Structure 1
Amino acid sequence: MQDEIASAALKAIRRILRASEQNTRKLAAATRLTPSQLLVLKEIDQRSETTPGAIAAALQFSQPTVTNILDRLEELGLVLRQRSERDRRQMLLRISPSGKGTLDAAPDPLQERFRQEFSALLPWEQAMMLAGLERLGQLLDASEIDAAPLIDTGAIDRNVG
């Protein structure tokens, strides 16, 4: 019985990973962006003008991860960086017109669908799911891993798979 439950749990994890992978491929095909890059772009758009630190805090990404993502978004012409007039040490971020167009063209990401469906659950269901997912993270030694996967800091190779 214990092995059957463990097998069913592993199968569910594999399905979730496959859904995430399929979403990543669809997003890359439409925008040439990774999910984390899209999240950063959306966060900048929502804030009009912001700092890398504010983005890192809002998305719970590490500062180096956000810096790498911003480098890629700037390279693609989707984000504009400029020094603050008030504090020259501070870098301000804005979305470019091209970045706005990319957001408009982006398919509905898995994260947004999850947020909508999750928020529709009853509070006790949300709490149980969160507790289960946090415990799963502990079982997989993933509790201290940055929420943005390393693959999301660079370009996607569309020739794979």
Structure 2
Amino acid sequence: MDRVDNSLIALRRIIRATELYGRDLKQIAGITAVQFRALQIIGEKGYATAKEVSTRMRVSQATVTSLVDKLVRENMVTREKSETDRRQTDICITEQGRDTLENAPDPLQQRFVRKFAAMEDWEQTMLQAMLERVASMMDAEDLDASPVLDTGDIKH
């Protein structure tokens, strides 16, 4: 096999691993990887604003609204008026949301983060540059994307 085929196989393996993780997470926890990441951010303090989640996930507030709507329907979070600022709405994690965080499979991106952090600085720099180059080669450098490994839909 040549380098082109090996590179395409490696890309397909990454995509496939992401798909399989997403399927497992949906089956076990009932939510997508992107919804899970939003739930993690909310769960850190027990609450967050849509703006906080949007900033951390690097997605629009409209996307966060859609994610939170789904989490509310699944009884993972609630929306409550802020006690400190009546103009603001807090997104609060529920007991079911906490249970989901505890019992869900280890997020794929967290596995990546642990292994990436263990690499030497020069290796991290080289890998980042190569991944950015691959994104550019696929005309994907300008796509809106959060740091969540997921192949599901994100509304823009």
The normalised TM-score by structure 2 is 0.89
Match of 2:72 among 68, 71, 74: 74
Aligned equivalent of 2:119: 121
Unaligned runs of 5+ in 1: 155-161
Q: Deviations over 1:81-105 (max 9, x none)?
A: 1122443332211110110011111
Alpha-carbon distance between aligned partners in 2 of 1:52 and 1:105, rounded to the nearest angstrom = 24
Q: Which amino acid aligns with 1:88?
A: R
In structure 1, C-alpha distance between the alignment counterparts of 2:108 and 2:151, rounded to whole Å: 18
TM-score where L is the length of structure 1? 0.86
For each residue in 1:87-143, what CA deviation from the matched residue of structure 2 results, as whole angstroms up to 9, or x when unmatched?
A: 333221111011001111101121111111111001111111111111111121222
Q: Distance between the aligned counterparts of 1:139 and 1:115, measured in 2?
A: 24
Q: How many equivalent pairs are there? A: 152
Measured in 1, the distance between the counterparts of 2:142 and 2:81 equals 32
CA distance, structure 2, for counterparts of residue 150 and residue 14 of structure 1? 12
Q: Shift of the alpha carbon at 1:39?
A: 0.5
Q: Which runs of 5+ in 2 are unaligned?
A: none
Which stretch of the first structure deviates more once superposed, 82-91 or 44-53? 82-91
Pick closer, same or farther for the CA change 1:15–1:135 going to 2, 3 Å: same
Task: Please give the secondary structure, in 2, of the residue aligned with 1:151.
Answer: coil
Q: Alpha carbons of 1:152 and 1:118: their partners in 2 closer, same or farther (altered >3 Å)?
A: same
CA drift at 1:153 = 5.4
Within the alignment, does 1:11 sit opposite 2:9 as a pair? yes
Question: Which residue type is aligned with residue 23 of structure 1?
Answer: Y
